[in-house]
Structure 1
Amino acid sequence: MTVHEDLAQGVWEDLQEKPGDVAAMFELRNRHIRGEMDEGGIYGTGYADALGSSARFRPKQWPLPQHAAFIKLHAMIGAGVVSYVCISTGGTPGPDADRAGNAAKLTKTHKRFTAELDMHQNGADADGNLSWSGELGLSRPTGIFFYPSTCRNAPQSILIYPTKMREGTAPLEVGDSWPSRTLMHLYQYGAVARWPYGSELIWLFVNFKRCSSR
């Protein structure tokens, strides 16, 4: 078991101390399995895979600790502890073996950012890194939800406020990566960039408890 999988196991054990939290996890797990986390809505298409994905296992086959890590990430975002910004690239990532092709696509990342792929990796903690210069504008959730419409079936929206992050860097994970690895990076480095399969966007997640904002 890896370090980040140990972390997920700890999150799962903590969740079990509160039956209500376990029920919330299984509710989110069911939404994830049904594909409801990636249909746009509050968080945007590709959101679930950015938190964590696996080509080998569909969400219904995930170990419960990975679902625990997934809901932990989702809860941190909803509470405003973590925020994210989506960044355009030159396309969707190809197979891991096609590092040259993926690196070429990353050269077309939005000009505010520099995305670099480790061409050898050799057991490195991440596939590469993403950096940005100058202040970065983010929309930070407040943890409060509201109904933007009086329509009976109107979905809730999350109340956000603008904030700015100082220049910095984040580990970049390309393709599949367990939610526990995303969570570990946020704890360890205060930020992580995810470029999941099927997405033309890099999702930069920032942990405000580890990174300074303005």
Structure 2
Amino acid sequence: MEASFHAWAAETYAANLQRTVKGRTTLAAYHQLLRDRDSDDLNDAVGQPHGGWWPPAQVAALGMVRTLHAEDTVRALCLRVGVPPDEEDRGAARDALRRLPYVFHTLLYDRRAEDGDGLLAWDPEAAAQMPGGWVSSAPLEIGRTDASRTLLHLADRGVVARWPEGSPDVWVFGFATFTAWHVWRERHPGFLPAEESAETGS
């Protein structure tokens, strides 16, 4: 999967929104989400652009995830770690993640890879309570990351775990059901890598 694909997909989505009055209204509503201070934690969980500036493409990606969440198509679960992540000290981050309940298991890579910083997995008995519980693990993104990268994980895997910069919590976002994920992918092939779009018949 190409590392920059998610940004390109979000730029295309934002450009399409800007072509119509309805789309521009939608994008303006997405911008408003960033002004709602009560939503800061949720927004940070979806994405924290490097440099702190939200370009239209990332606003569009944030809005897509927030809309899916508001519709209950994508659900979220907040897991308490108790401390914010240390992106410079992977050992400290590994130690902190061990504070999660025993049903959760983490694998943290030595450095960020194309598929994230690591994996968050859960035991079968926890699956029914997990967003995207129809799979057994989620790619884990730590610290600052684009909202479009979060959206790409949701499109690609149906689930993603986020440990935002400055947050004592790990958030898990996932489609409520496999069917919901499949239907959304069919309707939004532009967020899938080219080879997957071809597999879905798009």
Residues 178-189 of structure 1: matches in 2 within 5 Å? Answer: 178-189=146-157
Counterparts of 1:31 and 1:72, CA distance in 2: 11
1:66 match: secondary structure:
helix
For residue 110 of structure 1, what is the aligned residue in structure 2?
A: 101
Q: Residues 64, 89 of structure 1: CA spacing in aligned structure 2 closer, same or farther, 3 A cutoff?
A: same
- Counterpart contact for 1:132–1:167, Cα < 8 Å: no
1:80 match: secondary structure:
coil
- Counterpart contact for 2:14–2:27, Cα < 8 Å: no
2:164 corresponds, among 193, 196, 206, to: 196
2:129 match: secondary structure:
strand
2:9 match: secondary structure:
helix
2:78 corresponds, among 71, 81, 86, to: 86
Counterparts of 1:138 and 1:17, CA distance in 2: 37
Choose 1 or 2 for highest CA Rg: 1
Q: Which runs of 4+ in 1 moved over 4 A?
A: none
Deviation at 1:138, TM superposition (A): 5.1
Q: Residues 80, 18 of structure 1: CA spacing in aligned structure 2 closer, same or farther, 3 A cutoff?
A: farther
2:142 corresponds, among 168, 174, 180, to: 174
- Counterpart contact for 2:62–2:147, Cα < 8 Å: yes
Q: Residues 188, 165 of structure 1: CA spacing in aligned structure 2 closer, same or farther, 3 A cutoff?
A: same
Residues 144-155 of structure 1: matches in 2 within 5 Å? Answer: none
More strand by share: 1
Counterparts of 2:16 and 2:74, CA distance in 1: 20
Counterparts of 1:105 and 1:181, CA distance in 2: 24
2:84 match: secondary structure:
coil
Counterparts of 1:171 and 1:105, CA distance in 2: 17
Deviation at 1:55, TM superposition (A): 4.5
Q: Please tell me the residue identity of whatever aligns with 2:84.
A: T
Give the CA RMSD over aligned residues. 2.2
Q: Please tell me the residue identity of whatever aligns with 2:122.
A: W
What is the aligned-residue identity percentage? 27
- Counterpart contact for 1:174–1:197, Cα < 8 Å: yes
1:73 corresponds, among 24, 45, 65, to: 65
1:130 corresponds, among 120, 128, 142, to: 120
For residue 41 of structure 1, what is the aligned residue in structure 2?
A: none
More helix by share: 2
> Could you list the runs of 5+ residues in structure 1 that have no partner in the other structure?
39-45, 140-163
Q: Residues 34, 106 of structure 1: CA spacing in aligned structure 2 closer, same or farther, 3 A cutoff?
A: same
Q: What TM-score results when the alignment is normalised by the length of structure 1? A: 0.73
Once the two structures are superposed, residues 19-57 of structure 1 have per-residue CA deviations (whole angstroms, 9 ceiling, x without a partner) of 23322322331341453422xxxxxxx111001013512
